[in-house]
Chain A
Amino acid sequence: MPSRDEEEGARSHVTRPGALRRLTRPGAGDRQEGLLLGLVAAFVLLFCLLPLLRLFAEVFAAGPAEGLEIARDLLDNRFARQAVINTLEAGLLSTLVSVLLGAGLALAIGLTDLRAKALLTFLALMPLLIPAQIAALAWLELIGPSSFLWQLPGLDYPAGSRNPLYGREGVVILMGVEHAPMVFLTVRAGLRALPDELIEAARAAGARPLRLTFGILLPLLRPALLAGAALAFVSAIGNFGVPALLGIPGRYTMLTTFIYQRLNGFGPSVLGEVALLAALLALFAAVGLAVQAAAGRRGKLSLERGGRVLQPFPLGAGRWRLEAAVWSLLILTGVLPLLALLNSSIAQALGVAVTLETATLRHYADVIANQVTARAFVNSTLLAALAALSCVLVSIPLAYLAVVRRRALARLLTLVSDAPYALPGIVLSIACILLYLRPLPLLEISLYGSFWILAVAYLGRFLALALRPAISGVEQLDPRLEEAAQIAGARGWRRLRDIVLPLAAPPAAAGGMLVFMAAFNELTVSALLWSAGSETLGVVIFALYDEGNSNAAAAVSVLTVIVTLAIAAAATAFVRWTKMPRGVLPWQT
């Protein structure tokens, strides 16, 4: 409730904007603001920066001689070498697949008058909602010999042939599909920013649609394409679920799986070595992120020139052809794998075809009755809720201090908080193991081997995901409102509570739902950090598959996907209901 004074302050400010500038200059914060900044900084430093510093300390602490020794040993190991080569190869090739798929779909949906665009967009973004290990499992089921696909007339599984998804091609294609939505999103955003006048001029000059697309639009979209490709690349080299389920059996090892295998096969004695590999992986990711940042800056320029929104090309009588192609592709990538997963979850046993007589719900009954899977549901829910809540609570003041108050430290903190999310998850896990393997000094409490190491890692990992919507929420905030409150004497807490919070909270809450979804499905970080009693859903699915119980793994996956889709639907409804600007949720561009 704004007081009378505040209202008057606001009015006077509106009437005489310039006169009060000196009172509101940045940096004139009071002690409360300083305290707030301190708290936020402590959170970011503790959860985002410290683990990464510890990792680099490990790499450099060995001393130059010993470090070189480890590096030389690694280079001598042809599997380590191969893992580096494979990581770059699969990263680049799958990026190519993502660009073709994502950009193709974005152009088809964004440029033409296809029908049911909302549904098509949703299907195109499905891979974002489905975590990599579930997608990999679903594709294995779809292409595998027990798939319902081979019961269709005219289709036969080539008997005795290995699942073609095992190995390089499978890893590349599946990661390409998984990360295509990132390219889709950047290219769609790029398309939105293109001025219609340009197209009209080209059309007036007689350019046909194809010429227009390839001669004019694509060159203009280059920054968006590059930014999307860089994101896809960084995601690909950090992916664990796909190379773990498809690459390990296919003897195609990437850095993430190599690190995982080394650590599981040889234990903490190889920590120094895997820390070096993790740092190398972080370096590759940093290059990708730098490209993305550079491309993003170039993209911004064209965005500001934006005139009228692009009018869709009429496809005319041939529209159904493109529609058929797009629908087939999206059903193949977004729907069929899930059906295969469903099919496997109701199969009697491994390798038994599902028919009306053999279909069974016993795997669902089993996983619900099983204390481990039940606990994993509880754990993942608790972890996701904890991460979502904490990240939202930190992201609002951080966004406020960085964007409205323009505090230099806060702006720096937003950059720091990006790192654990942008870098491959396995880098963060290794960093957390190094940091928390031994009991905390002074407190003598050991986080390693408990639920809390996961919680700590998740807090660092997902802050960036909550921060982005919070920043976009705070950016909508009219700075005059806040200045007015300040003039009226409202101090830090008060302004934050009465002015910033009501406006920034809804987008931040939507960000919280994103964090919840991502954390609920998390595997990469958990895979190295879980312990007895702290199993997460990602770990349980992975382990069940490993034990040869893929029917049960499919059942847990189906339940997880249902929860994820429900949260996505709730977030969408929430964003509509609060009339938030578009772009808060990634699938709502």
Chain B
Amino acid sequence: MRKTLLAAALCATLGSAPAAAQNGELMLYTSQPQDLLVQMIEVFNETHPEIEVSFFRSGTTEVMNKLEAEFAAGDPQPDVLLVANSLVMTGLKNDGRLLPYPEAPTEAYDSAIMDPDGAFVGTKLITTGIVYNTELVSEPPTSWADLTDARFENQVIMPSPLYSGAAALHVGTMTAHESFGWDYYEALADNGAIAGRGNGSVLEAVATGQNAVGIIVEFMAFNAKAEGSPVDFAFPSEGVTAITEPAAILSTAENPVAAEIFIDWLLSEAGQRFSAEQGYLPALPGAPTPSTFPDEVELEIIAVEPGTLIANDEEMKKSFANLFGG
């Protein structure tokens, strides 16, 4: 085992050229946190030891830029893409970059989380709400409006859409929604809110008490709470935004067969149960809720028309950067 690991490391290191075409290798580009990803690959390999999964992990935006550069260079690497939101997937689909997989085992799933042509399918639900430090905040925030309140002045940190796909969808939705709009973000900026990088930077700042409250994806906050960090998560009363972490196969995939096996596993009951064990809300109706979640969760989803989000994306990032510097 050790030997193969080292061999794999060397192989991956010394350029993918010699062995990439070998049967059973799968290249995954994803935005999932690294430790969860490594665990997931281990569990996947319990049932599919023949597939060796390598990956590139970073924020969705960086993953996509990497991929864009690879398209430009004419040599896209990944077989499977597993990133935060369906907007980038739609963009890729429209460019003909995705290999439809309509045979994916999606019968039990809500059709809202998948592409009608089978180009991509959601694998879990990740909502964005509010994390707070339990030692610093005696009266927890309950709504998005609270974050613009004077009692959280200079205390709010949020992930940047220039980095995180979940944040891009969140900011895109909030700014396009009539109840919030850019006014809401200007109010946040006026209240001294700052942008970190990914959701991890938000968790870090809030768990260690550098910021009292933050905007974050729920599973990170619940996982940290379960490990003993002094944080808790609030589902704001106005609702949460949600992403589905869709998976797709690239039309240029070198190993589409392994890619299909991997996506089958993600959507299988075992795969969904494992997602829940990792603290993710599974996309499969009826799958168990993660033990880290509070007993009763009622999700109200704030959403806007996807076309608007895609159309506004670039402008949104620029406006955000102008307000928060990154």
Contacts of B163 in A (CB 8 A): 264-265
Contact A268-B69, Cβ < 8 Å, known A370-B35, A374-B5: yes
Chain A 434-473 interface mask (CB, 8 Å, partner B; 1/0): 0001110000011011111000000000000000000000
User: Is A18 at the interface (CB under 8 A from chain B)?
Assistant: no
**Besides the contacts A449-B73, A548-B200, A549-B200, what 15 more A-B pairs have beta carbons closer than 8 Å?**
A144-B209, A159-B135, A160-B136, A248-B197, A249-B201, A249-B205, A349-B224, A371-B8, A438-B74, A439-B75, A446-B74, A448-B73, A532-B29, A545-B204, A547-B34
Q: Which residues of B contact A (CB under 8 A)?
A: 5-6, 8-10, 12-17, 27, 29, 33-35, 38, 41, 54-59, 61-62, 64-66, 68-70, 72-75, 77-78, 133, 135-136, 154-155, 157, 162-163, 194-205, 207-212, 220, 224, 227-231, 317, 321-322, 324-326
How many angstroms between the C-alpha atoms of A163 and B154 in the bound complex? 12
User: Is A202 at the interface (CB under 8 A from chain B)?
Assistant: no
Partner-binding segment picked from A123-131, A183-191, A375-383: A375-383
State which of A146, A439, A544, A546 has its C-beta within 8 Å of the C-beta of B73. A439
Distance in angstroms from B250 CB to nearest chain A CB is 13
Contacts of A253 in B (CB 8 A): 325-326
User: Is A267 at the interface (CB under 8 A from chain B)?
Assistant: yes
A267 contacts B65, CB within 8 Å?
A: yes
B208 contacts A375, CB within 8 Å?
A: no
State which of B12, B72, B205 has its C-beta within 8 Å of the C-beta of A437. B72
A371 contacts B38, CB within 8 Å?
A: yes
B34 contacts A544, CB within 8 Å?
A: yes
A437 contacts B13, CB within 8 Å?
A: no
State which of A248, A350, A534 has its C-beta within 8 Å of the C-beta of B229. A350
Give A242-271 interface residues, CB cut-off 8 Å to B.
Answer: 248-251, 253, 257, 261, 263-268
State which of B135, B210, B321 has its C-beta within 8 Å of the C-beta of A163. B210
How many angstroms between the C-alpha atoms of A433 and B78 in the bound complex? 20
How many angstroms between the C-alpha atoms of A157 and B230 in the bound complex? 16
User: Is A145 at the interface (CB under 8 A from chain B)?
Assistant: yes
Contacts of A157 in B (CB 8 A): 209
How many angstroms between the C-alpha atoms of A239 and B135 in the bound complex? 35
Chain A 478-515 interface mask (CB, 8 Å, partner B; 1/0): 00000000000000000000000000000000000000
Chain A 403-426 interface mask (CB, 8 Å, partner B; 1/0): 000000000000000000000000
Contact A382-B13, Cβ < 8 Å, known A532-B29, A552-B35: yes
Distance in angstroms from B128 CB to nearest chain A CB is 15
How many angstroms between the C-alpha atoms of A372 and B199 in the bound complex? 20
B207 contacts A350, CB within 8 Å?
A: yes
- What residue in chain B is nearest A532 (Cβ atoms)? B56
A351 contacts B73, CB within 8 Å?
A: no
A79 contacts B209, CB within 8 Å?
A: no
Distance in angstroms from B9 CB to nearest chain A CB is 4
A546 contacts B201, CB within 8 Å?
A: yes
State which of A267, A350, A449, A545 has its C-beta within 8 Å of the C-beta of B75. A449
Distance in angstroms from A360 CB to nearest chain B CB is 11
Contacts of B204 in A (CB 8 A): 350, 545, 548, 550
Distance in angstroms from A425 CB to nearest chain B CB is 18
A543 contacts B58, CB within 8 Å?
A: yes
B162 contacts A264, CB within 8 Å?
A: yes
Contacts of B229 in A (CB 8 A): 349-352
Distance in angstroms from B137 CB to nearest chain A CB is 8
Contacts of B68 in A (CB 8 A): 267-268
Contacts of B33 in A (CB 8 A): 547-549
Contacts of A533 in B (CB 8 A): 12-13, 16, 54, 56
How many angstroms between the C-alpha atoms of A366 and B72 in the bound complex? 36
Contacts of A531 in B (CB 8 A): 56, 66, 77
Q: Which residues of A contact B (CB under 8 A)?
A: 78-79, 82, 144-146, 157, 159-160, 162-163, 166, 248-251, 253, 257, 261, 263-268, 348-352, 366, 370-372, 374-375, 378-379, 382, 433, 437-439, 445-446, 448-452, 531-534, 543-550, 552
Contacts of A250 in B (CB 8 A): 194
How many angstroms between the C-alpha atoms of A265 and B229 in the bound complex? 31
Contacts of A352 in B (CB 8 A): 228-230
Contact A548-B199, Cβ < 8 Å, known A79-B325, A263-B65, A371-B5: yes
Contact A248-B326, Cβ < 8 Å, known A268-B69, A350-B207, A437-B69: yes
- What residue in chain A is nearest B70 (Cβ atoms)? A449
B65 contacts A372, CB within 8 Å?
A: no
A449 contacts B66, CB within 8 Å?
A: yes
Contacts of A545 in B (CB 8 A): 200-201, 204
B210 contacts A162, CB within 8 Å?
A: yes
How many angstroms between the C-alpha atoms of A144 and B209 in the bound complex? 8
A350 contacts B321, CB within 8 Å?
A: no
A351 contacts B196, CB within 8 Å?
A: no
Contact A548-B202, Cβ < 8 Å, known A248-B196, A370-B34, A531-B77: yes
- What residue in chain B is nearest A379 (Cβ atoms)? B13
Contacts of A159 in B (CB 8 A): 135-136, 209
State which of B157, B209, B321, B324 has its C-beta within 8 Å of the C-beta of A160. B209
Q: Which of A145, A351, A379 has the most CB of B within 10 A?
A: A351
- What are some 22 contacts across the A-B interface (CB < 8 A)? A82-B325, A145-B210, A160-B155, A249-B194, A251-B326, A267-B68, A348-B228, A351-B229, A351-B231, A352-B228, A352-B230, A371-B38, A375-B9, A378-B13, A437-B73, A438-B72, A438-B73, A439-B75, A533-B12, A546-B197, A546-B201, A549-B33
